[in-house]
Structure 1
Amino acid sequence: MKGNHMKAVKLSAIVLAGGLLLAGCSSSGDEAANANANANANAGSEASGNQAASGNEAANEDNPSIEQLAPLAEQEGKLSSVGMPDSWANWKDTWADLKSKYKIEHTDTDMSSAEELAKFEAEKNSPPDIGDVGIAFGPLAEEKGLTMKYKTPFWDEIPDWAKDDDGDWIVGYTGSISFLCNNTLVDQCPTSWADVKAGAYKVAVGDVTKAAQAQHAVLAAALAFGGDEKNLQPGLDFFAELAKRERISKVEPSVPNIQKGEVEVALLWDFNALGYRDQIDAAKFDVHIPSEGSVISGYATVINANSKNPNAAKLARAYILSDEGQINLAKGYARPIRDSVKLPDDVSSKLIGGEEYANAKPIQDFKAWENALKELPNAWLEQVQANVK
């Protein structure tokens, strides 16, 4: 777990700039793309370099290709990251590739998105080179002057919502709020919010007062019923109705509780839900994206403006966005940001079909979301939690 991001603050520290992910990359929790055809899933590092150099944007001095970066990064020979532990989103395979292909030794310190930026700010003499933060923390890092610009050769394939216009931050993988259902406890597992409303089981949401994953669940419901980050009331109304019908579970949707059969249906980031499913027993669980609507968020790499190994950091970002890097992330259930990457069958078969993401929407106004998060805890306590029994 990324410091606990997988739970809540980093894929919303991914979203809170104070708050995804969420289920986030590390300890605090934090946001959408589908994986489809066209690139060679087994391409080697040379192919990646060629693809990068001849791809969407010509390599130049400001945005060098993998081939151009490789000898410079090898000279530096090391890379330090924060919030990118081996166990999170299968980072271990990417670090292993950077070592075997480019002789780069890697170290990581796991922490939340907010902690990452604090470390960038405080440690100028021996700073970390790169971090992975909830998307809302990307603009914050840029505002603070903590980031180094680098677009990578895959720039044109990254959706506008998932990148800064100058390359100060770029989302590498996404997460969307999903339903995890124990099909041994529920007669008909939900694929829509309407299914949930019509059911008789309890729904585990998590702690909306502090967990980004749970907060995004409210936003997901709001989006499904006509609201947005400026108007969470439709989502609050949905959960308030469930609470009045005694259908909000008091149980935290954690692996131990799910494993013990104490959770019937849970609202989780898709990568968490899929990981929990396979960790416990894939045959017992169904995972779906709500058909009427959900929220999609992501984690973004930020390269430290004071990095001592800037070429290794840029190479790492480029590799993360390469076919091989995107496949590595998908092996950890994180959804690649690049649609063109063709995932191996054994990897894609473990993910949710791309068609289910048709109504998953990214946050459009992070300032509005940040403001909404200031009000959400009290609104949840008054409108929903007060009716939970």
Structure 2
Amino acid sequence: MAISLSACAGTSTPASDSSSGSVDAKTATSAADFGGLSDLVAAANKEGQLNVITLPPSWANYGKIIEGFEKKYPKIKINSANPDGSSADEVSAAKAQKGQTTAPDVFDLGTAVLQQNLDLLAPYKVKNWADIPSDFKDADGKWYYDYTGLMSVGYDSSVIKTAPKKIGDLLGADYKGKVAIKGDPTQANEAASAVYLAALQSGGSADDIQPGIDFFGKLKQAGNFLAVTPTQATVASGETPVVIQWSYNNLAWGAAGGSAGNANFKTVVLPGTALGSYYNQAINIDAPHPAAARLWEEWIYSPEVQNLYLASGAYPATLTAMEANKTVDTKVLATVGAAPKNFVQLTADQATKAATLLTAKWASAVG
């Protein structure tokens, strides 16, 4: 199915005072604990900064999301670290920079990494908590889904003349030295999801991703696997002409990227079983700017930002509620199309099991 959517070393100086009146922002579990949203804004303004991490501007419209937050809350400066990093990098930064003003305040994590680091997360429930489906969030508020896409193949149509129709097509001679994924699957959820897709397309399942590892071993043996982490720039230059990644990212790197994109870069969701994976929002339990972190989550789950996710081709967690409440951008939804009803998403247990297998088998398969 072809897709055509519209676009998505610190110091140890003490952090800002994290309390607002008698409220300790680090332990606040809702805006009501501050006295209401306006009091949360006041506390966040007092802190004056927010640290985000691994949020590329072209990923799920994060460039516009960050810009919108700073416009709405001009007294808060966003510090965006390591935009091309992985979920594992987020966790490493939180641990290495604990107690420093540079530590991440908030996370956007893949499920496998999230489940291995639940002790790093602070419970917090946004004002429209009820709009997030119960199976899309932790009951105590430690994490909540934010958006999903479908795993897809992006290809430079000036180089690859015929769109791939199945994963096995990527083993052909036309793809020699051309197929890239977003980093190390043992570290990055998006790269791991490329392996999961290959497994689903090669006789495996969410409970058995070994066929996906085997596929990439064959891709390596054929000389088709390109050991370069792709970026929008490498796609624009032609260095990485084929990329397996989330649909909203492939789309953002094509014509939707404007002058920074590659007008010849097309996106295909392969026929057969589709793979999706919601990412998870969470607050660092040791956030140096805890009020701003909580205000960020309120911003993320506002209809304004959920519509920005949608405009990038990423389906937001509150979409069903937004349709019912008539807060969804109907023009964008009509362009993007309804959210997929049936796709495979690994459960927390499946993702943990898959991550263990990848850690044990990936290096030998593609080494």
TM-score w.r.t. structure 1 length?
Answer: 0.66
CA distance in 2, matches of 1:210, 1:165: 28
CA distance in 1, matches of 2:253, 2:355: 29
CA distance in 2, matches of 1:288, 1:355: 16
* 8 Å Cα contact 1:227/1:235 also seen in 2: yes
- 2:52 aligned with 1:82, yes or no? yes
Out of 257, 265, 269, the residue aligned to residue 246 of structure 2 is 269
What does the per-residue CA deviation read over 1:74-124, in whole Å, with 9 as the maximum and x for residues that have no partner? 243034223065725333433444444455412224134444434444433
**Superposition deviation, residue 297 in structure 1:** 2.6
Structure 1 partner of 2:194: 217
What is the 5 A alignment of 1:168-247? 168-193=142-167, 196=169, 201-202=174-175, 204-206=179-181, 212=188, 213-239=190-216, 246=222
Structure 2 gaps, min length 5: 6-27, 323-327
- 2:272 aligned with 1:292, yes or no? yes
* 8 Å Cα contact 2:151/2:197 also seen in 1: yes
What does the per-residue CA deviation read over 1:190-224, in whole Å, with 9 as the maximum and x for residues that have no partner? 35436x37966316034657663443212112123
Out of 364, 369, 374, the residue aligned to residue 359 of structure 2 is 374
Q: One-letter code of the match for 2:343?
A: N
CA RMSD between the two structures:
3.8
Q: One-letter code of the match for 1:81?
A: N
TM-score w.r.t. structure 2 length?
Answer: 0.70
Structure 1 partner of 2:8: none
Out of 328, 331, 337, the residue aligned to residue 345 of structure 1 is 331
Structure 1 partner of 2:140: 166
Structure 2 partner of 1:107: 78
Structure 2 partner of 1:140: 116
Q: One-letter code of the match for 1:73?
A: V
Give me the identity figure in percent: 23
What does the per-residue CA deviation read over 1:9-64, in whole Å, with 9 as the maximum and x for residues that have no partner? xxxxxxxxxxxxxxxxxxxxxxxxxx9xxxxxxxxxxxxxxxxxxxxxxxxx9544
- 2:124 aligned with 1:150, yes or no? yes
* 8 Å Cα contact 1:221/1:294 also seen in 2: no
CA distance in 2, matches of 1:309, 1:260: 39
Structure 2 partner of 1:361: 345
Structure 2 partner of 1:24: none
Structure 1 gaps, min length 5: 1-34, 36-60
CA distance in 2, matches of 1:288, 1:306: 41
- How many residue pairs match? The answer is 317
CA distance in 2, matches of 1:120, 1:102: 25
CA distance in 1, matches of 2:299, 2:217: 45
What is the 5 A alignment of 1:1-150? 62-64=29-31, 68-77=36-45, 78-83=48-53, 87=57, 89=59, 90-111=61-82, 112=85, 113-121=87-95, 122-124=97-99, 126=101, 128-143=104-119, 146-150=120-124
- Three-state SS of the structure 2 residue aligned to 1:205 is strand
* 8 Å Cα contact 2:159/2:241 also seen in 1: yes
Structure 1 partner of 2:285: 305
CA distance in 1, matches of 2:341, 2:223: 26
**Superposition deviation, residue 375 in structure 1:** 1.9
Out of 281, 285, 295, the residue aligned to residue 315 of structure 1 is 295
Structure 2 partner of 1:49: none
**Superposition deviation, residue 243 in structure 1:** 5.8
**Superposition deviation, residue 306 in structure 1:** 3.8
**Superposition deviation, residue 179 in structure 1:** 0.8
What does the per-residue CA deviation read over 1:150-204, in whole Å, with 9 as the maximum and x for residues that have no partner? 122443443556432311122322343211122233343135436x379663160
**Superposition deviation, residue 379 in structure 1:** 4.4
CA distance in 2, matches of 1:347, 1:370: 34
CA distance in 1, matches of 2:143, 2:330: 28
CA distance in 2, matches of 1:129, 1:211: 20
